[in-house]
Amino acid sequence: MIAHTPTIFACVALVATVMAFCLILAGQVNHRDGLFTTGCGLLAHALAYVCYTLYGHAPLWLTYSVANTLLAVALAFYLASIYRIRALAVPWWMVLSLPLLMALLMVVLIEHREPRMLASSSVLMLQCLLIVVVAQRRASPGGRAHVLLIIGGGISLIGLGLRVVAILFGTAPEMQYDVSNLKQTISVSIGTVTVMMFSLGLVLLSKERSEASLHHMALRDALTGMLNRRAILEQLSGELERARRAGSSLAIAMIDIDHFKQINDQYGHLAGDEVLCHCVRHLSQQLRQSDTIGRYGGEEFLLLLPDTPPAGAMTVVDALRQSLAANPALFGKRSIPLSFSAGLWCGVPGPGDSSDSLIARADAALYAAKQDGRNTLRLLQAGDAQDGFRSLAGAAL
């Protein structure tokens, strides 16, 4: 079926205009989500196709040079949107260099039909290829938005490739914007698919980023940025099941900052917040890659040590205790000395063990450590009664 080429251009322009209006309006709320940039790209896309519809009835500089430059600008905005949505700095030198190159080539080659057609198609193909590559490299883990962008870019490459083949085989007149034939119908119709694929792909990419951000916030403590109670308990549940299946040792530690209420009372709650953040930063830097720590509540932290025997767990946690004691928190010009008490449970989880029961045992060991004068570790091994605690104490503050 052969369609009237200017009509196809007008249809693409209409679709792009409507979608541009919607995205620019939605993007006013938050320019960082990339929707506003995508809308600007769609607007440039629409204006380019409006210029195409005038081919043969208006000056060539408008219907070809300006039109192709606007299309290059549209693709540049789509590329920039990927970076913005992924919260990355936009490499504007790369993004804008190709539209500038397009404008320059169109000025130089305006009177030479085949060279200008080949040059414009080549620049647009390069931009589509960049979108495909960047979309692939910046894909969200488990996301699908990049697939739409890759398909859109791939379809555009096919449409532009048809034009390049026609030019190379000496049939460039068949691909002029006021000519209607089967090849032209296929090539131009692809523009509609491209608009839909790029716009929907970028909207979905923005949605995936928002969902990932909300998921991150749901699992992170608002003050310290570390895993919150829900997240660390989910991690414990997974490590418990893994240790039970593998028959491996698991150590968990309840850590409590000593005399935290006194820190709040003496230095103020802002100082208390800084102390918590300092502890998180310091402890996180000292942990092994396999270990996980989260804020259990208040000034209490839950530490998971997979594949760690009792002696190793005591060594790891005591090293953390000594390191924190040697690095006081700073609040303004004040140095705030710190220490913590810790209760550990360590062993191979049995069929009847649960996250709650293991935490209860570690918490009982923590209570014993506090009773011993704080700045102390107490260990309860699997099978021990509470009077079987092992102690490792430091100098009480």
CATH of the domain at 240: 3.30.70.270
Sign of CA dihedral 382, 387, 390, 394: positive
CB atoms near residue 269 (< 10 Å): 10
Three-state DSSP class for residue 110: coil
- Which range in 143-152, 214-223, 273-282, 380-389 is most confidently predicted, on average pLDDT? 273-282
Residue 395: predicted pLDDT: 40
394 — alpha (psi -120 to 50), left (phi > 0) or beta?
beta
Q: How far is CA 193 from the centre of its chain?
A: 27
Residue 387: predicted pLDDT: 47
Q: Which residues pair with 342 in a beta bridge?
A: 255, 377
393, containing H or E segment: strand 390-393
Domain harbouring 91, CATH code: 1.20.1070
Task: Determine what percent of the chain is predicted with pLDDT higher than 90.
Answer: 52
Do 68 and 29 form a contact (C-beta atoms < 8 A)? no
Do 279 and 331 form a contact (C-beta atoms < 8 A)? no
Same domain, 253 and 361: yes
Residue 268: predicted pLDDT: 92
| Residues 148, 201: Cα–Cα separation, whole Å | 5
Same domain, 136 and 273: no
Specify burial of residue 192 (Cβ count, 10 A radius: 0-12, 13-18, 19+).
middle
* Residue-wise DSSP of 10-44: HHHHHHHHHHHHHHHHHHTS-GGGSHHHHHHHHHH
List the single range of 132-141, 194-203, 380-389 with lowest mean pLDDT: 380-389
Tell me what the pLDDT averaged over the chain comes to.
87
- 56 in any annotated domain: yes
Q: Is pLDDT above 70 for 393?
A: no
- 28 in any annotated domain: yes
Provide mean pLDDT across the span 212-216: 77
Three-state DSSP class for residue 142: coil
| Listed residues 159, 189, 217: the one ending a domain | 217
- 223 in any annotated domain: no
Same domain, 234 and 135: no
List the single range of 72-76, 81-85, 390-394 with lowest mean pLDDT: 390-394
Do 160 and 128 form a contact (C-beta atoms < 8 A)? yes
Same domain, 209 and 317: no
Q: Is pLDDT above 80 for 20?
A: yes
Same domain, 257 and 384: yes
Q: Is pLDDT above 90 for 207?
A: no
How large is the greatest C-alpha to C-alpha distance in the chain, in angstroms? 96
Same domain, 243 and 200: no
Compute the residue count for the chain.
Answer: 397
For the chain, how big is the Rg over CA atoms in Å?
A: 32
Q: Which residue has the tokens 């699997």?
A: 382
Q: How far is CA 292 from the centre of its chain?
A: 21
Do 164 and 136 form a contact (C-beta atoms < 8 A)? no
Q: Is pLDDT above 70 for 132?
A: yes
Three-state DSSP class for residue 382: coil
- 37 in any annotated domain: yes
Provide mean pLDDT across the span 8-17: 85
Provide mean pLDDT across the span 240-252: 93
| Listed residues 187, 217, 247: the one ending a domain | 217
Which structural domain, as residue segments, surrounds residue 368? Answer: 229-393
Output the pTM of the full model. Answer: 0.70
Residue 384: predicted pLDDT: 59
- 71 in any annotated domain: yes
What is the DSSP code (8-state) at residue 62?
I
Same domain, 169 and 299: no
Same domain, 153 and 297: no
Q: Is pLDDT above 90 for 133?
A: yes
Q: Is pLDDT above 80 for 183?
A: no
pLDDT-derived band of residue 177, with 50, 70 and 90 as boundaries? confident
Same domain, 200 and 313: no
Same domain, 29 and 165: yes
Residue 396: predicted pLDDT: 38
Q: Which residue has the tokens 């190379």?
A: 168
Provide mean pLDDT across the span 276-288: 91
Residue 391: predicted pLDDT: 56
- 224 in any annotated domain: no
- 330 in any annotated domain: yes
Provide mean pLDDT across the span 284-301: 91
Nearest Cα to 195, choosing from 75, 67, 73? 75
pLDDT-derived band of residue 32, with 50, 70 and 90 as boundaries? low
Q: Is pLDDT above 80 for 392?
A: no
- 222 in any annotated domain: no
Provide mean pLDDT across the span 50-70: 91
Q: Which residues pair with 341 in a beta bridge?
A: 256
CB atoms near residue 230 (< 10 Å): 13
pLDDT-derived band of residue 388, with 50, 70 and 90 as boundaries? low
Question: Total domain count for the chain?
Answer: 2
* Residue-wise DSSP of 158-181: HHHHHHHHHHHTT-GGGGSTT--S
Same domain, 157 and 286: no
Do 300 and 370 form a contact (C-beta atoms < 8 A)? no
| Listed residues 217, 250, 274: the one ending a domain | 217
Residue 158: predicted pLDDT: 86
pLDDT-derived band of residue 159, with 50, 70 and 90 as boundaries? confident
131 phi/psi in degrees, rounded to 5: -60, -45
Q: Is pLDDT above 70 for 126?
A: yes
User: Residues 6 or more apart from 202 whose CB is under 8 A from it?
Assistant: 34, 35, 38, 78, 81, 82, 85, 145, 149
Q: Is pLDDT above 90 for 240?
A: yes
Same domain, 72 and 36: yes
Specify burial of residue 199 (Cβ count, 10 A radius: 0-12, 13-18, 19+).
buried
